[in-house]
Structure 1
């Protein structure tokens, strides 16, 4: 991601679904005005989901996803269909493409049922309208007849997608709603081997941008510069935000009357995971020797020798509990459908995942009664500073029951 690009996770994800040869790729190419997907008369030309980040009027920054046919066959076909279904977990608007001549198939009806179960806004698009002997009319506002060959109703289709796309109106800010213009916000950013050379990681970039958009001042320091910076600042900062890995040191160097939290906790709220993650962290006390903990990383970065997810967290959990556990790890878009082997799920901040995908993972955990928490909340809990790091969210503390507040 370039510094001037909208992060993938903050783009509206528009998924195109349907049977093989219904014209999904042709429609995608027509809507985007680009040869984004390979088009062929041969069934199954699209073998993996194709992702394209772009600006699409009238919506703005979007992620277009062209998927393999939902009716693909054979052992490879089953894997492709599985990938197509996984795309649903991150889709904000679903577009099902149906061959207007052939009409709806059973697989199309099953897809629509999935959209409804997952509460995904969707459009039913009948392609190849130019081949119809007799013109047909849509049966509802969410249906439209188009032609990828002639371009018929393609602009109208884009307008319909835009109506269904989520807007920024009800979206939480990362930090902008809890600070004010002219506030000072200090960000503690360790520079270690895991930090990308020459740049800040995505949550840090996004948080700084949100602070600046709030007309506040962002002051960025390394962990061993914090104490001196606070002494020389001349003004009490409204908030200190730290990388979770140095939570203990930052807490020790920050006076109790200065609000303190972490990037990971801010992103738990931003992605809709905060309340469930706070409730889930207490499960750490009930784990038994040999239990399996699933640690989920939303990105696929190269693992360093002291990686937080695969090395530091398991070590800290062992030191805190005094017990030996089994650990399983996932990264990127991987997330197991069956969570029964796990006694706790520990998720990253989710900066590379859409809000919908994070909430899907949360729902999987809740439905299967497997506690879920996140990196920052777990670390703050183990270091005895969780309550302090949540005081900037009084509504969350108020919602939690007395047992949860005890943590």
Structure 2
């Protein structure tokens, strides 16, 4: 994957620490670019700064330079919250320690990182000025924390920092995740059904469709892409039965009626449910739609902010379909982008988008937080298949 890889498939690495610990300097040293503004004045970085980079063999990553965790005042508290939001969606963290060594601020951030189960390393910066104390080294050793001393200013041990980051990265980031490649073989025919409606972006396809098509090419499959009204004609024109039909969830009911039952069929969103999340748990969440009651509130989670159209999938169609299916009087609330409600307990169900703009870590963390608060969670495609009565067929190819 190149540095132009989609944001949702990038490893996110957050640098956290006190003001003037050298976080910005370290990002500049790692990327060998003047990405972040560097100054001796504490608090130079006020908002998270992202830098894309190719960290081989992991591939594309995003480094986040964050505000100091010892920031003060009302604005300082907001900056600290922004840093904590970055940590919430990070795959790896680097706790950057300055000349003062490990203080209560570092201990607090380490505790927060551990709660999130984020792999991390402790980077003692400015070793050109002083080495980490024996107490700090012993603290890391006794707790099993990976640590390193370096100088972002002189470049000492910066390459070793990169090696450590690669070594502690989550296992799933060290190999290419699969969407549908394990469902087909080389030379198989695959039919992709892509409706073009008001919500379709002009001049391009949406990211899940693009990624699936690319994976089919990588698997040496023969892929045919049609609109939903062309599926029957396309199947009649093939001289062999396709190994798989993949459809957009919005037309899954009509496509299921047009595709013979002996041809495996699923949806793009269902593929993303296992690519970015945990498909069995999302299917289990969809089954709780049957238990919704009058007055329940349903969370609609959108990973990206976008202009809502008249027939928006998350804000209009899904609420309509779920209401029609259940026959209940329900309330739907939408949260977009990286916003996610803190008072999850008041929701009876969370229906999340396919998460193409989130990395897998953030999606799984959202799912885990829902589970921890006792809120069933599913995703758009799985929920749509449930209320359209075709969920069993859509998940059949995965043999759950």
Give TM class, smaller chain. Answer: over 0.9
Q: Closer, same or farther in 2 for the Cα pair 1:242/1:103, shift >3 Å?
A: same
Aligned equivalents of 2:38, 2:184: Cα separation in 1: 50
Matches within 5 A, 1:121-270: 121-132=119-130, 140=141, 142-166=146-170, 168=173, 172-270=177-275
Answer yes or no: is the 8 Å Cα contact 1:93–1:122 preserved in 2: yes
**1:135 Cα shift?**
8.7
**1:246 Cα shift?**
0.6
Answer yes or no: is the 8 Å Cα contact 1:310–1:329 preserved in 2: yes
Kindly indicate whether residue 293 of structure 2 is the aligned counterpart of residue 288 of structure 1.
Answer: yes
Where 1:131 maps in the other structure, the secondary structure is coil
Residue 106 of structure 1 is matched in structure 2 by 104
Among candidates 309, 315, 325, match of residue 320 of structure 2: 315
Among candidates 379, 383, 390, match of residue 385 of structure 1: 390
Q: Closer, same or farther in 2 for the Cα pair 1:337/1:102, shift >3 Å?
A: same
**1:144 Cα shift?**
1.1
Aligned residue pairs: how many? 393
Answer yes or no: is the 8 Å Cα contact 1:129–1:135 preserved in 2: no
Aligned equivalents of 1:159, 1:297: Cα separation in 2: 35
Runs of 4+ in 1 over 4 A off after TM superposition: 133-141, 167-171
1:368-405 CA distances to partner (integer Å, 9 max, x unpaired)?
111111111111111111001111011x1xxxxxxxxx
Structure 1 window deviating more from structure 2 (331-340 vs 252-261): it is: 331-340
Q: Closer, same or farther in 2 for the Cα pair 1:80/1:9, shift >3 Å?
A: same
Structure 1 window deviating more from structure 2 (38-47 vs 122-131): it is: 38-47
Kindly indicate whether residue 53 of structure 2 is the aligned counterpart of residue 49 of structure 1.
Answer: no
**1:55 Cα shift?**
1.7
**1:319 Cα shift?**
1.5
Aligned equivalents of 2:233, 2:205: Cα separation in 1: 22
Residue 94 of structure 2 is matched in structure 1 by 95
1:17-64 CA distances to partner (integer Å, 9 max, x unpaired)?
111111111111111111111112222221221112222345431111
For the aligned residues, what is the CA RMSD?
2.0
Aligned equivalents of 1:192, 1:47: Cα separation in 2: 41
Q: Closer, same or farther in 2 for the Cα pair 1:88/1:208, shift >3 Å?
A: same
Aligned equivalents of 1:220, 1:128: Cα separation in 2: 56
Which runs of no fewer than 5 residues in structure 2 stay unpaired?
none
Answer yes or no: is the 8 Å Cα contact 2:2–2:54 preserved in 1: no
Aligned equivalents of 1:92, 1:261: Cα separation in 2: 29
1:153-198 CA distances to partner (integer Å, 9 max, x unpaired)?
1111112112222355565410011111111111101111211111
Answer yes or no: is the 8 Å Cα contact 1:138–1:144 preserved in 2: no
Among candidates 105, 112, 115, match of residue 113 of structure 2: 115
**1:274 Cα shift?**
1.0
Aligned equivalents of 1:169, 1:132: Cα separation in 2: 35
Answer yes or no: is the 8 Å Cα contact 1:15–1:95 preserved in 2: yes
Answer yes or no: is the 8 Å Cα contact 2:58–2:174 preserved in 1: no
